[in-house]
Structure 1
Amino acid sequence: MKLPKSELRKIYAEKRKSMSSAEVEDLSESIFKQFLGTFDMSKVKNVHIFLPIKQKNEVSTWDFIKYFWDKGISVFVPKMVQNEIKTIQLKPDTLLKENNWGILEPEDDFVEYIKFDIVITPLLYCDNQGNRVGYGKGFYDMFFSKTDHNALKVGVGFFPPTVLISDVSEQDVPLDYLVTPTEVLSFISKSIK
């Protein structure tokens, strides 16, 4: 079965909206454990990760961030500048401010270019070919197209792939991995090891 992104966006935004805070936290913890059980982080130096939009029940990434800091891995997060994702380093003492979309962002200036080992991305849905459905603005696709092609693109989401996306375009950049509360799906032969 195939559905267009617009339909999948509605379905999975509604599913996520219906989740309780406790469910979001529990499932986010399971996703974090799946991630740790799959990826060898011993050689990772730089990770790009999103800060969750709590009111949209996004996967909580704070356990990831604290783990990366504890391991001495540099953490970078997105900051929207003129409808484009820019990169800013996040440290434990970084001051955060909510932007117009309700996303926490560092107040600091962005860094022009960083070679990332892993980019952890939000999503509403991902099919079993690594095609993701976000909020429909294409920000992450643009970001991926400018990111080092060796960086692993890892999506984190609450729901397993059940249907294919019918309207994948040339601008859509597929993920390398999807981490859900119960499994990690690989869409490529790249490895972090």
Structure 2
Amino acid sequence: MQKDQLRLTCLQNRNNLSQSQVEAESLKIANRCLGLPIWDGFFYHLFLSIPEKKEVDTSFLLTILQGKDKNVVLPRVKGKGHLEHTLLTDSTKLKISSLGIPEPVTGLSVSPETLDVIFVPMLCFDIVGNRLGYGGGYYDRFLSQCRPDAKKIGLSFFGPLTRISDIEETDIPLDGCVTPERYYAF
């Protein structure tokens, strides 16, 4: 299936979830992450969820990262198609951006090459690790700047599709994806 049609279908599937389903499934995803072999890193990049879009609620994962005393790095949109990355500290102030994304206002900038694990937002993924986002290319540009050994872990309420048919050369595949039911390694 082509990306444009998939986006509509995936958004509709996610919008059909109740708020209690989003919360319960997000907690399952966070707990499943505890069993992954990713906890020896130092810098973990985490997107903050947009509740109105019924994204995976990453607050549970944030609690786990903080409990493990990991350095958490948050994205902030910096111009069209580009992200800036900020270390989360006790003094970090968050603001809802014009895109509806909770973002750090200011803070210590972190280079993408520093990151060990990146939790990646998505609408869906396929059985070989290709992901589909909202279509702005923000994460593909960002992931191309990360070290090749940095783990790119998707978070999804739903299992994989057979195939996303119009993958481009600039699309960066995942190393794995966590769903409420299981972990998919690629």
TM-score class, shorter-chain normalisation, is: over 0.9
Deviation at 1:40, TM superposition (A): 4.4
**In structure 1, what is the equivalent of residue 148 of structure 2?**
149
Q: Establish whether residue 70 from structure 1 lines up as the match of residue 67 from structure 2.
A: yes
Deviation at 1:110, TM superposition (A): 5.6
Q: Structure 1 pair 38/110, CA: closer, same or farther in 2 (3 Å)?
A: same
Give 3-state SS (helix, strand or coil) of 2:32's partner: helix
Q: Establish whether residue 54 from structure 1 lines up as the match of residue 51 from structure 2.
A: yes
- Tell me the distance in 2 between the aligned counterparts of 1:158 and 1:89: 27
Deviation at 1:39, TM superposition (A): 2.8
Residues 48 and 77, structure 1, Cα contact 8 Å, conserved in 2? yes
Task: Using structure 2 for the length normalisation, give the TM-score.
Answer: 0.95
**1:1-48 deviation digits (Å, cap 9, x = unpaired):** xx011111110101111111100000001111111122341x221100
- Tell me the distance in 2 between the aligned counterparts of 1:178 and 1:106: 26
Q: Tell me the number of residue pairs that the alignment of Structure 1 and Structure 2 aligns.
A: 184
Q: Establish whether residue 173 from structure 1 lines up as the match of residue 176 from structure 2.
A: no
Residues 98 and 104, structure 1, Cα contact 8 Å, conserved in 2? yes
Segments of 5+ residues of structure 1 without an aligned counterpart are 188-193
Identity between Structure 1 and Structure 2 (%): 34
- Tell me the distance in 2 between the aligned counterparts of 1:50 and 1:108: 16
User: Aligned-residue CA RMSD in angstroms?
Assistant: 1.2
Task: Using structure 1 for the length normalisation, give the TM-score.
Answer: 0.92
**In structure 1, what is the equivalent of residue 135 of structure 2?**
136
Deviation at 1:150, TM superposition (A): 1.2
- Tell me the distance in 1 between the aligned counterparts of 2:57 and 2:90: 16
Q: 1:100 aligns with which of 98, 101, 107?
A: 98
- Tell me the distance in 1 between the aligned counterparts of 2:118 and 2:168: 21
Q: Report matched runs for 1:19-98 at 5 Å.
A: 19-41=17-39, 43-83=40-80, 84-98=82-96
- Tell me the distance in 1 between the aligned counterparts of 2:175 and 2:168: 17
**1:77-96 deviation digits (Å, cap 9, x = unpaired):** 10000121110111244211
